[in-house]
Structure 1
Amino acid sequence: MTARKPGLPACARGRFDERQCFAALMTRKGVDWHETVMEIIQDDPVLRQVSHRELEDSLLEVSPAQALDLAGLISVGSLLYGPHESLYASDVERDACLQEILRCTGKGTHFFTNHGHAEDGKEADFLAASFHTNTLTSKTIDVCLVGVSDENVLVLWRFEDD
């Protein structure tokens, strides 16, 4: 039997602007999932500068519902000008795709982000017009969502210059 490398669902193609976003899914390697994240992002010119220590120190856990809002923000929001107005309305196709992307990590997934509102816990509003982040790249601002299960690691990341 051949081991299958996980991949993002077909609906993810074109969902994230490659000039400002990074999206990938990889089989988890080892106990320290941060190492898998570092391996996933090593070939991206913007993200390769992120250090393991910064990653470890800057991510806070969020709920699956909050992860869905973050995935939407990464997909169509602007980090400088706020979430796109379309994120405040239901979009069946977009929402189904983002849910599928989040599910592809596997059962028991935990989600983490560097979005500043994660400090607010259950009250966090990731679609607020203004927010702060623990910036991990040299870009003006970046927001990531990392999904971690026993099997896979999902990385969604948006970065923008001022």
Structure 2
Amino acid sequence: MARTRPDLRVRSLPACAKDRFDGAHSFATLVARAGADWHGTVIDAVQGHPVLRHVDRRELGESVLEVSPAQAVELAGLISVGSLVYGPGESLRAPDPERDACLREVVWAAGNGARFFTNHGHAEDGEEGDFLASSFHAKVLAGPTVDICLVGVSDENVLILWRFEDD
């Protein structure tokens, strides 16, 4: 896991998330929200990561759109196993009770009343957004890589899931 600010309070993700997110291509953490501006909490949490340290606070604020909790679970699946370059595997469209329960648990870890945000281009489609489509666009935030983030924000916590790949 990346280094974070010493005063950033890292919380535990559900146990099922331990092997769900590939460390070479993804970042997953749950941290205590530090103040009203959740964007700063995200920047503090990713600043020590070799890829995500390039994320700019202003760009983050301007490049994410809100999605529903159900869409957040779909995005968590893409971030955990989908390829951003080659598209999500068909396995993500097939029901997998263990995987799906884990991803719901991860998303719920953000806390009661959480709102979810992403830079995935299909967020522009609102409730009709298909985050498992084989082609999509994204507002790249992590510099020279293709990246998709999901940020869950409640009054207490910030869930950060991020996938990045060289294209």
Give the TM bin, normalised by the shorter chain: over 0.9
CA RMSD of aligned residues (A): 1.0
Q: SS of the residue aligned with 2:11? A: coil
1:132 to 134, 137, 141: 137
Q: Name 1:47's counterpart in structure 2.
A: 52
Q: Name 1:120's counterpart in structure 2.
A: 125
Q: Name 1:108's counterpart in structure 2.
A: 113
Give 2:27's aligned amino acid.
Answer: F
Unaligned runs of 5+ in 1: none
Shift of residue 5, structure 1, vs aligned partner = 5.1
TM-score by length of 2: 0.93
* CA deviation vs aligned residue, 1:63-114 (integer Å, no higher than 9, x gap): 0010011000001100011111110111011001111101111100000000
Alpha carbons 2:10, 2:29 under 8 Å: kept: no
Alpha carbons 1:139, 1:159 under 8 Å: kept: no
Shift of residue 139, structure 1, vs aligned partner = 3.1
Percent identity, please: 65
Q: SS of the residue aligned with 2:147? A: strand
Instruction: Indicate how the Cα distance of structure 1 residues 110 and 80 shifts in structure 2: closer, same or farther if over 3 A, else same.
Output: same
**1:78 aligns to 2:77 (yes or no):** no
Whole-Å separation in 1 of the counterparts to 2:74 and 2:160 = 15
Q: Name 1:148's counterpart in structure 2.
A: 153
Unaligned runs of 5+ in 2: 1-8
Whole-Å separation in 1 of the counterparts to 2:77 and 2:84 = 12
Whole-Å separation in 1 of the counterparts to 2:14 and 2:70 = 19
**1:10 aligns to 2:15 (yes or no):** yes
Give 1:127's aligned amino acid.
Answer: L
Q: Name 1:19's counterpart in structure 2.
A: 24
Whole-Å separation in 2 of the counterparts to 1:105 and 1:137 = 22
TM-score by length of 1: 0.96
Instruction: Indicate how the Cα distance of structure 1 residues 139 and 14 shifts in structure 2: closer, same or farther if over 3 A, else same.
Output: farther
